[in-house]
Amino acid sequence: MTSPSLDRLLTTTDRATEWILEEGAPWTRYRALVDLKALGSSDSAVKDARAAMLDSPEIVSLIEHALTWGTKPLKRHNDASHPLVTMSVLADFGLSRDDPGIQQIWEAISSRISDEGFFETLVNVPKPFGGSGEDEWAWMACDASALLYPLLTFGYGSELIVERAIEVLADRADDNGWHCAAAERFGRFKGPGKREDPCPIANVHALKALSLVGGSDAAEASERGIETLLSHWADRGKVRYFMFGIGTDFRKPKYPLLWYDIMHVAEVLSRFPAALADLRFQEMLEELSAQADEKGRLIARSMYLPWKGWSFADKKQPSPWLTLLLHRMVQRAS
């Protein structure tokens, strides 16, 4: 892996890490100690950072919001204010099933299982798209796989219903990855775009979940999804799936990781050794790295308004959290 921006970024890793530890919030310090410093859970600094994270009012508030799961219907898959996104953020920060509120979140999600084996979400699908126009429990390709990521990260991967959902997810991978799909009750539901096209964001969410499990079936399905995303990047000037282009907005660093953008796609791909060795991924990471400043720090170029006030939703100041994510990807690749 040799490119000007990546080489420059590698030289700033130690300095950027110290800046993250000095300026970052407790959850950022915790992840920096574990992911960048490679310290174990028994290290005193890790214990202190984790305790501070769990005691922080911001995390308490996120847990309370996540516990509202099932009270707000999902009407669009890029709704940054939905509890599903909050759960993913808590997973990114490093919470687990033994932490306050997480078991209650699990109990709420695990009580809604579809006949197909996926976890259901309270959704509202308009009649023109095959829904009833009313709030109803069902699954769709995006949210079904997006739900698996926090559950696996929290530590529920050995639960039989989670194992079943992973099997179903892997089985649904087509030759060109995952397509838009939904519960049988929606009939021949099809999201935007051609029926034979892959759904880019469904591939991102599926890969994020499968990166946390083993098995040959998951590995084979992951290979298809990885190739779908890398091919889309390589053909970005020629191929634009409906709603999912790779243009100016795609290239802007942004968090939470919920939609189809460079930060989300690169983070997910960086979890797979096969992607790390691919020149197309390295080109994507080079594009992201080039946006860091001379100290290796990254600034959000776009933001989700529901998260205004968090460091990763500030377009004026470098973000310790975004900087952490970037350097973690570069460390994986190097």
- Per the listing, tokens 């516990």 go with 67
Q: How many CA atoms, within 13 angstroms, populate the side-chain half-sphere of residue 263?
A: 25
Q: Could you tell me the pLDDT band of residue 61, with boundaries at 50, 70 and 90?
A: very high
Dihedral sign for Cα atoms in the order 158, 164, 165, 169: positive
State pLDDT tens for residues 39-54.
Answer: 999 999 999 999 999 9
Q: Helix or strand or coil: residue 177?
A: strand
Q: By C-alpha distance, which of 288, 303, 301, 296 is closest to 323?
A: 296
CB of 179 closer than 8 Å to CB of 199: yes
State pLDDT tens for residues 264-308.
Answer: 999 999 999 999 999 999 999 999 999 999 999 999 999 999 999
Q: By C-alpha distance, which of 260, 123, 131 is closest to 204?
A: 260
**How many other CB atoms sit within 10 Å of the CB of residue 101?**
16
As given in the structure block, the two tokens for residue 59 are 């995390």
CB of 46 closer than 8 Å to CB of 30: yes
Cα 301 to Cα 316: distance, rounded to the nearest angstrom? 9
State pLDDT tens for residues 229-247.
Answer: 999 999 887 777 767 888 9
State pLDDT tens for residues 81-112.
Answer: 999 999 999 999 999 999 999 999 999 999 99
**How many other CB atoms sit within 10 Å of the CB of residue 118?**
27
For the chain, what are the domain ranges?
1-55+247-334, 63-199
As given in the structure block, the two tokens for residue 314 are 């500030």
State pLDDT tens for residues 122-144.
Answer: 999 887 777 788 899 999 888 99
* Ranges assigned E (strand) in the chain: 121-124, 135-138
pLDDT at position 1 over 60: no
